[in-house]
Each structure stands twice: as C-alpha cells, then as structure tokens.
Amino acid sequence: MINDDITTAMTSKSSSKSDTAFTTGLKRQELLNFIAFPALLIDLNNRSIISLNREALDFYGFRENDIKGKSIDDFRFSRDTSGWNLSSTDVTFAHHQNADGKKVSVLEKWKKLSADSSIALLQLTDVSEQLLQDELLEKNRAFVDVLGCAIRNLSRSNQWEPQLQRLFKRIGQTLEVQSVYYYDIELNEEGSLSALKHEMWSKREVQDDISVIPIDIDTPFYQKLLSGNPFKADTDAINSTIIRELLTAYEVYSFLIYPIFRNSQLNGFLGIADCEKKRRWTLDEVRFLKSISRLLIGFIKVKRFDLIKNDQVERGEKNDQLELKGNIATSEMETHESILNRLNEVAWLQSHVVRPPLARIMGLVGLLQNKEVEVDQEKLLSEISKSAGELDRVINEVVRKSEN
C-alpha cells in the first residue's frame, strides 16, 4: 500500500476547502515527480486526472494534453468500478490501456489525500509475473517508504547533513549496497573539471575517502551524465586508468550513478556502489535513484537559499534580506498585480462612462466649425477639438492596456 509518509507529506497543513498540498514550498506536482512509479492525482468528484508524473506518461504512451483532465476510466480497459469506495487506503487489480491499445495488467494502489479530501493519489505498478514475486513487491514498498521519510525529514529539519546521512544510510540498507555518495562537479583553477565529495555513507568500518575525482569531458561517463542518463558499470570495465585504480583500491565492484542538474547545468551526481560483488542494476533501482536525485535538487535549492540568506543577515545587508524573502516578494507582486488589474478594470469601465459625452462634445464642435463663426470663437472651437482628440487617444490607450 502507499506509504503514509508520502500522503502525510503531500497533505501537510492542507485544507479540505482547496485541497492544496504543499510541503515547505514544494508543490503537489513536484511531489508526484518524486515517486518512482507511475502516479496520478484523481478528482473523485468526476474521476478526472488532475496531474501525473513522467513515469505515468511513459506508462500510457500518450502526451500530457491527451491525458490531463480526462477521466481515469478512459484509460481503464474494464469499466468495472469495484474497489473505488475510497473510504481508506486500498489496493486493487485492474487492466489499463496504452496508446497502442495494448491491455496492461496493473496493481492500483490509491489513497485519499485526507479523510475529507476529494482528491486521491493513484499509483500504478505493472503486475507482470516477475513483479508479483513477494521479494520485489516488498522492495518496491521499501522504495516508497524511503522517499516518504526523506520528504518528511528533510522538509522539517534545518540540519541538512545529519538528515542526509540518515537518508543515505536508509538508501544503502534498502538497496543492499555498501556505499552511497553525492559529489559536486566543479571547475578547478586549471580549467579542468573535478568531482568533489559532498556527502558519503559507507557500511564498512573504513570509510571511503575518495574526496576528489578528476573528470575527462570526453569519457563515456561524463557524456552519459551530461545527456541526463544514468551511468552504470563494473569497475573492471572502466577505461580511465586513474578512476579504475581508485575504485579498485576501495574494492568497488559495480556502481550506479544518476546526474543532478541545477538551472539546466550538470551540477553533480548521486551514486551507489556494491563493494561485495558485481551487480546488474534493475530498472526499479535506477528509477529509485532518479527519484532521490530529484528530491535532492529541490532541497539543495532550499539549502542554498538559506545559506545566502543567513550570510546576508550576518553582514547586515537589510536590502538584500528583503530581496531574499522570495515568498513575501512573490506575495507582494501578486498583490500589486491584483491592484493593477483592478485599476485597469476601473479605468476600462470609466472609459465607457466618459466616451459618450466626449463623443457628443466632438460632434457638436464639428457642427459649429462648419458654420460661420467669429475668429475668437473659431480659435476656441479649435482648442476644444484638439483637447477632445487628445482625451480620446488617452481613453483608447487605457482600453488597449486593460485588455492586455
């Protein structure tokens, strides 16, 4: 079943009035993306699909616009509605249909976001014969459990390093690996790239101490990460002599690495290593590491923001403090936009009030100018006509801006 930690994180301080699900600024869609399996949010009132993650799009084979807003029943092979009481967490088997019309057997695991919520989280697991094995199903549940705890603990704690150590330890225990590490990729003074150790957990008594790893941008390792894809290999298959010797010295037999991007730039990587045997990494393990890397990206941004903010506070730069309070600035901007929109609406309405009498004035001036009048009167009418024309242009500009 879906772990309660995921549901708790997604409904932290949420209200049944709006069903808004936020956790320390992370939006509901972002939380969906942290789940390593196809996951969707369903509106129970009309059973429509509110949002879904990338895995769900890959599962169905449709584009997002072809799925979002439609009923979940449009993608179920059977219209059987049993198992949709949604009074509590439940699991049911069903058949779904992909873009090719193929029937796919899945395990539907769903739960309402809260007791009085009208939104439910629906997670799909392919129930092929292999996945029906108890051991693999138990591991999948463990993956979700780790993700839920990570979201909860990292969002509630200001102490980043201890929580990261606990998370890495749980990853190691769940995946049965001996080492979990996170490296930053930086440009050094010589102009070449290096991976600097940011955090590491090791099951062995002797901690791995590979603090710096030289990176050759022409190697398959770097090119694979740069493309956004995971890199998995056995140590004896590594072409780089330096890296192969480093890994061999620490008895690393096989490893799996997933890239971490920030602002569309390769910023580092998250990795796991088996130091006991060569290992063939499963698709579920790759997806799990991908989900953890996504989670870290979000919290790295939060951490860097906090570091900058604290540094500015220490230096007493009050102006910068105000700029760094992003949520307040965003709120003020929304307020200003709201006021501006209201002013535009008022201006637009007032323009329709002013335009009729202005049109009458311009018409009257036009009639008088066509008649014989004294020189002074003609000058006065000319000034009135000019002023009326300028006012008409101002009104047209106000209307144009308010419509935009």
Sequence-separated contacts (24+) of 127-133 with Cβ below 8 Å: 127/93
Q: What is the pLDDT of residues 267-312, one digit of tens each?
A: 888 888 888 888 888 887 888 888 788 777 766 665 555 544 555 5
- Assign domain 339-403 to a CATH class: mainly alpha
Domain ranges of the chain: 1-130, 157-307, 339-403
Q: pLDDT band at residue 146, thresholds of 50, 70 and 90?
A: confident
Residue 264 exposure: Cα atoms within 13 Å on the Cβ side: 0
Reported residue count of the chain is 404
pLDDT of residue 215: 75
The C-alpha atoms of residue 39 and residue 140 are separated, in whole angstroms, by 14
Query: What are the DSSP calls for 90-122, one per residue?
Result: EEEEEEEE-TT--EEEEEEEEEESSTT-SEEEE
Those residues whose C-beta lies under 8 Å from the C-beta of residue 359, and which sit 6 or more positions away, are none
pLDDT of residue 104: 78
Mean pLDDT of 183-205: 74
**pLDDT at residue 338 tops 70:** no
**pLDDT at residue 177 tops 80:** yes
Mean pLDDT of 318-327: 59
**pLDDT at residue 11 tops 50:** no
Q: Pick from 57, 99, 1, 95: which is nearest to 49 by CA? A: 57
**pLDDT at residue 111 tops 80:** no
CA 99 vs CA 49, 61, 75, 246: distances in Å: 16, 5, 9, 47
Q: pLDDT band at residue 7, thresholds of 50, 70 and 90?
A: very low
Q: What is the pLDDT of residues 344-397, one digit of tens each?
A: 555 555 555 566 666 667 777 676 767 676 777 777 777 777 777 777 777 777
Contact of 342 with 390, CB cutoff 8 Å: no
Name which residue leads in pLDDT, 307 or 90: 90
**pLDDT at residue 137 tops 70:** no
339-403 matches 157-307 in CATH topology: no
Q: Which CATH architecture group holds 157-307?
A: 2-Layer Sandwich (3.30)
**pLDDT at residue 46 tops 80:** yes
pLDDT of residue 403: 60
Strands across the sheet containing 39-43: 48-52, 39-43, 119-126, 103-112, 90-97
Query: What are the DSSP calls for 268-282, one per residue?
Result: EEEEEEESSS-----
Q: Which of the residue ranges 29-43, 67-81, 296-310 would you say has the lowest mean pLDDT?
A: 296-310
Mean pLDDT of 99-116: 76
Strands across the sheet containing 212-215: 212-215, 193-202, 179-187, 265-274, 254-262, 231-234
How many CB atoms neighbour CB 220 within 10 A?
Answer: 13
**pLDDT at residue 232 tops 50:** yes
Q: Pick from 269, 288, 299: which is nearest to 146 by CA? A: 288
pLDDT of residue 208: 55
Q: Is 199 exposed, middle or buried (0-12, 13-18, 19+ CB in 10 A)?
A: middle
pLDDT of residue 401: 62
Name which residue leads in pLDDT, 89 or 174: 174
Using H for helix, E for strand and C for coil, what is the string for 366-381? Answer: HHHHCCCCCHHHHHHH
Mean pLDDT of 89-109: 74
**pLDDT at residue 259 tops 70:** yes
Sequence-separated contacts (24+) of 215-220 with Cβ below 8 Å: 215/185, 216/240, 217/193
Query: Is the domain 1-130 a CATH 3.40.50.1100 member?
Result: no
Mean pLDDT of 37-54: 86
Q: pLDDT band at residue 96, thresholds of 50, 70 and 90?
A: confident
